[in-house]
Amino acid sequence: MTHPTCQTALLQRPEGFQQLAGFILFSLILNFSTLGLSSAQETLSEQTSPTVSTETSDSATIPNSVDSAPADASVFSGDLPVTRSDRLMPEQSEPEEDKVIGKGDDLFLQGNLVQIHGNALVKAEGMTLYADHIWADFDQNLLRASGNVRLISGEEHTYSDELLFNLETKKGIIRQGFTYSDPWYYRGTEIFKTEDDESYIRKGSLTTCTLKRPHYYFSSSEIIVKVNKELIAKHVILKIGGVPLFYIPAYRRDLRQDKLAKIIVRLGTDSYQGPFMSIELPLSRKRRLDARLLFDQTSRRGRGGGADGSYLINDTQYNEIYIPLFQDVTPSERKKLEELATEIKEKLDGDYDLYKLKEIYLEYRLEEADFLRAKETVAQVYEELQSKSRPGEEEASDHTSSTVTEATFSQAAQDHSDHQETKYSGGNMGYIVRGEVDAEGEPRLDPVLEDVVFAMEAGQISPMLKTEFAYHIFRVDHILEVYGQKEIKLRRIDVAVSPTDKTKEQIRELGEKIQERATAGESVTFLITEHKEAILRDVNAGQWLPLNEMDDRWQYSVRRLEKVGEVTTTVMTDRGVHIFQLVEKQPTPTFTQLATEFEAQHGDWLREEYERRKPKEEKKSPSFLMGESSEETEPNRKKGKSKKNRFEDRDGTPGDDDSIDKADRPLEIFQQHNFQGSWQNEREVSRQARQLNRGETSDLIQSKTGYHLIDVNKKRTYRGDLYLYGNDQFSYSRKDAMKIGQQYVMRWGHYHSIYTPWDNPKEGRKPLNFMGRVEWQARYYDEGYGTSESSVNSFGVLTWGSAFSALDDMDRDEDGNLRFSTKTIGEFLGRLQFSHAYNLIESDSYTLQKLPELSIQFSRMRMSNLPLLKTINEGMVKIAEKTKTEIPLLSLLAFPTLEDTSFDLDMDLGNFYRQKYEQERNVYLKTSVLGFDIQKQSTLKVSSTREIRLDVGFDSDVVWHDRDRDGNENVVRGVYGFNADARNILFRIYDISWIPGARRLRHQINSGVFFNYLPAVDRDENSRLYPFGPSTYFYERKDITYQLETSIEIKTRKHRSALRLFDFRTQLRGDFTEYAAENNRTYDYIESDITITPLPSRNMSIIMRSTHDPNVSEIDGKRFKQVGFRSNFSYRRDKWNLTFGNSFSKRTKYASRRINSSFQFRPSSLFEIDFSADYDWIEKQFYSQSLTVRRNLHDWDLRLSWHRIGIKRPPNYDNVRQDFTFQINLIADPTASVGLGYDAVTETWGFRSLPVGVPYNAFGVGNAMSRSYF
Instruction: State the pLDDT at residue 1234.
Output: 66
Instruction: State the pLDDT at residue 436.
Output: 87
The CA distance from 777 to 696, in Å, is 45
Instruction: State the pLDDT at residue 1044.
Output: 95
Measured between alpha carbons, how far is residue 342 from residues 337, 345, 378, 609, 992 in Å? 9, 5, 42, 20, 56
User: Do 379 and 439 belong together in one domain?
Assistant: yes
Instruction: State whether residue 172 is helix, strand or coil.
Output: strand
In a domain, 652, yes or no: no
Residue 427 and residue 407 in contact, taking contact as beta carbons nearer than 8 Å? no
Instruction: State the pLDDT at residue 154.
Output: 63
Choose the most confident range, by mean pLDDT, from 178-182, 286-290, 898-902.
286-290
Is residue 1097 predicted with pLDDT exceeding 70? yes
Of 689, 669, 667, give the one whose Cα is nearest residue 678.
Answer: 689
Give the largest Cα separation in the chain, rounded: 129
Measured between alpha carbons, how far is residue 1117 from residues 1077, 1078, 1085 in Å? 21, 18, 16
pLDDT tens column, 375-420: 999 999 998 888 876 544 444 334 445 678 888 898 899 888 988 8
Is residue 1171 predicted with pLDDT exceeding 90? yes
pLDDT tens column, 1045-1069: 999 999 887 777 888 999 999 999 9
Q: Which parts of 944-968 are beta strand (E)? A: 946-963
Quickly state the pLDDT bin for 1226 (edges 50, 70, 90): low
Residue 161 and residue 149 in contact, taking contact as beta carbons nearer than 8 Å? yes
Instruction: State the pLDDT at residue 1034.
Output: 56
User: Do 1031 and 991 belong together in one domain?
Assistant: yes
The CA distance from 606 to 600, in Å, is 11
Measured between alpha carbons, how far is residue 31 from residues 24, 118, 125 in Å? 9, 22, 8
Instruction: State the pLDDT at residue 624.
Output: 53
pLDDT tens column, 953-973: 998 888 899 988 888 899 888
Does the pTM surpass 0.75? The reply is: no
The CA distance from 236 to 244, in Å, is 10
Measured between alpha carbons, how far is residue 575 from residues 361, 501, 567 in Å? 10, 13, 20
Residue 209 and residue 238 in contact, taking contact as beta carbons nearer than 8 Å? no
Of 467, 462, 474, 460, give the one whose Cα is nearest residue 375.
Answer: 467
What is the separation of C-alpha 793 from the centre of its chain, rounded to a whole number of angstroms?
36
Is residue 13 predicted with pLDDT exceeding 60? no
Adjacent-strand bridge partners of 820? none
Of 33, 29, 16, 20, give the one whose Cα is nearest residue 129.
Answer: 29
Q: What secondary structure letter does DSSP report for 510? A: H
Measured between alpha carbons, how far is residue 1008 from residues 368, 747, 943, 985, 1068 in Å? 64, 47, 17, 9, 11
User: Do 470 and 511 belong together in one domain?
Assistant: no
CATH of the domain at 167: 2.60.450
Quickly state the pLDDT bin for 246 (edges 50, 70, 90): confident
Instruction: State the pLDDT at residue 94.
Output: 67
pLDDT tens column, 255-276: 766 566 678 887 777 777 778 8
Instruction: State the pLDDT at residue 658.
Output: 41
List % helix, strand, coil for the chain (3-state, nearest 5).
Answer: 15, 50, 35
Q: What secondary structure letter does DSSP report for 647? A: B
Between strands 701-702 and 289-298, the pairing is unpaired
Is residue 896 predicted with pLDDT exceeding 80? no
**Listed residues 448, 480, 496: the one ending a domain:** 496
Is residue 775 predicted with pLDDT exceeding 90? yes
Instruction: State the pLDDT at residue 31.
Output: 31
Is residue 649 predicted with pLDDT exceeding 50? no
Instruction: State whether residue 537 is helix, strand or coil.
Output: strand
Which range of residues forms the domain containing residue 925? Answer: 874-1150
Of 450, 504, 464, 452, give the one whose Cα is nearest residue 375.
Answer: 464
Amino acid at 716: R
Neighbours of 541 (CB within 10 A): 7
User: Do 438 and 551 belong together in one domain?
Assistant: no
Residue 1221 backbone phi and psi in degrees, to 5: -135, 135
The CA distance from 853 to 799, in Å, is 12
Interval 669-675 mean pLDDT: 89
Interval 512-521 mean pLDDT: 88
Quickly state the pLDDT bin for 92 (edges 50, 70, 90): low
Instruction: State the pLDDT at residue 1088.
Output: 94
Residue 987 and residue 1002 in contact, taking contact as beta carbons nearer than 8 Å? yes
CATH of the domain at 423: 3.30.450
User: Do 491 and 516 belong together in one domain?
Assistant: no
Terminal C-alpha separation, the chain = 71
Instruction: State the pLDDT at residue 494.
Output: 93
Region of poorest pLDDT, from 727-736, 776-785, 938-947, 1190-1199: 938-947
User: Do 359 and 418 belong together in one domain?
Assistant: no
Instruction: State whether residue 58 is helix, strand or coil.
Output: coil
Considering its fold, how many domains does the chain have in total? 4
In a domain, 7, yes or no: yes
Instruction: State the pLDDT at residue 823.
Output: 53
Q: Who's near 1252: CB < 8 A, 6+ residues apart?
A: 248, 251, 264, 265, 266, 267
Instruction: State the pLDDT at residue 181.
Output: 65
Is residue 49 predicted with pLDDT exceeding 90? no
Residue 1045 and residue 1062 in contact, taking contact as beta carbons nearer than 8 Å? no
pLDDT tens column, 812-849: 454 554 444 445 667 788 888 888 887 777 654 455 66
User: Do 1084 and 971 belong together in one domain?
Assistant: yes
Instruction: State the pLDDT at residue 1250.
Output: 39
In a domain, 673, yes or no: no
Amino acid at 1185: Q
User: Do 1052 and 1002 belong together in one domain?
Assistant: yes
Between strands 1196-1205 and 402-403, the pairing is unpaired
User: Do 2 and 30 belong together in one domain?
Assistant: yes
Quickly state the pLDDT bin for 169 (edges 50, 70, 90): confident
Of 638, 613, 643, give the one whose Cα is nearest residue 703.
Answer: 643
The CA distance from 637 to 631, in Å, is 10
**Listed residues 586, 615, 647: the one ending a domain:** 586
pLDDT tens column, 1102-1161: 999 999 988 888 777 788 888 899 999 999 998 999 999 999 998 877 888 999 999 999
Is residue 1073 predicted with pLDDT exceeding 90? no
In a domain, 104, yes or no: yes
Amino acid at 183: P
**Listed residues 447, 480, 496: the one ending a domain:** 496
The CA distance from 186 to 623, in Å, is 13
Instruction: State the pLDDT at residue 996.
Output: 83
pLDDT tens column, 1213-1223: 667 778 788 87
DSSP 271-323: TTTEEEEEEEEEEEE-SSEEEEEEEEEESSS-EEEEEEEEEEEEEEEEEEEEE
Quickly state the pLDDT bin for 293 (edges 50, 70, 90): very high
Residue 1141 and residue 1125 in contact, taking contact as beta carbons nearer than 8 Å? no
Residue 514 and residue 534 in contact, taking contact as beta carbons nearer than 8 Å? yes
Adjacent-strand bridge partners of 768? 754
pLDDT tens column, 681-700: 888 898 888 888 887 888 89
The CA distance from 120 to 102, in Å, is 8
Interval 470-482 mean pLDDT: 89
Residue 57 backbone phi and psi in degrees, to 5: -65, -20
User: Do 439 and 564 belong together in one domain?
Assistant: no
Region of poorest pLDDT, from 337-346, 368-377, 664-673: 664-673
Is residue 75 predicted with pLDDT exceeding 50? no
Instruction: State the pLDDT at residue 1011.
Output: 92
Residue 534 and residue 541 in contact, taking contact as beta carbons nearer than 8 Å? no
What is the separation of C-alpha 290 from the centre of its chain, rounded to a whole number of angstroms?
24
User: Do 923 and 880 belong together in one domain?
Assistant: yes
Instruction: State the pLDDT at residue 893.
Output: 63
Is residue 1203 predicted with pLDDT exceeding 60? yes
Amino acid at 217: Y
Region of poorest pLDDT, from 42-51, 369-378, 1051-1060: 42-51
In a domain, 699, yes or no: no
User: Do 121 and 41 belong together in one domain?
Assistant: yes
The mean of the pLDDT values for the chain is 77
Adjacent-strand bridge partners of 470? 496
**Looking at the chain, how many residues does it have?**
1270
CATH of the domain at 358: 3.10.50.40
What is the separation of C-alpha 956 from the centre of its chain, rounded to a whole number of angstroms?
42
For the chain, percent of residues with pLDDT exceeding 90: 19
Amino acid at 795: F
In a domain, 624, yes or no: no
Q: Where are the alpha helices (DSSP H) in 588-703?
A: 591-613, 634-641, 683-691
Adjacent-strand bridge partners of 559? none
Burial code of 795-811, b = ≥16 C-beta within 10 A, e = fewer? ebbbbbbbbbeeeeeee
Residue 1031 backbone phi and psi in degrees, to 5: -140, 180
Instruction: State the pLDDT at residue 306.
Output: 95
Measured between alpha carbons, how far is residue 306 from residues 708, 743, 999 in Å? 46, 12, 67
Choose the most confident range, by mean pLDDT, from 662-671, 882-891, 993-1002, 1010-1019.
993-1002
Instruction: State the pLDDT at residue 71.
Output: 38
Interval 580-601 mean pLDDT: 88
The CA distance from 757 to 504, in Å, is 45
In a domain, 663, yes or no: no
Interval 131-135 mean pLDDT: 91
The CA distance from 529 to 1264, in Å, is 90
Instruction: State the pLDDT at residue 1091.
Output: 95
In a domain, 393, yes or no: yes
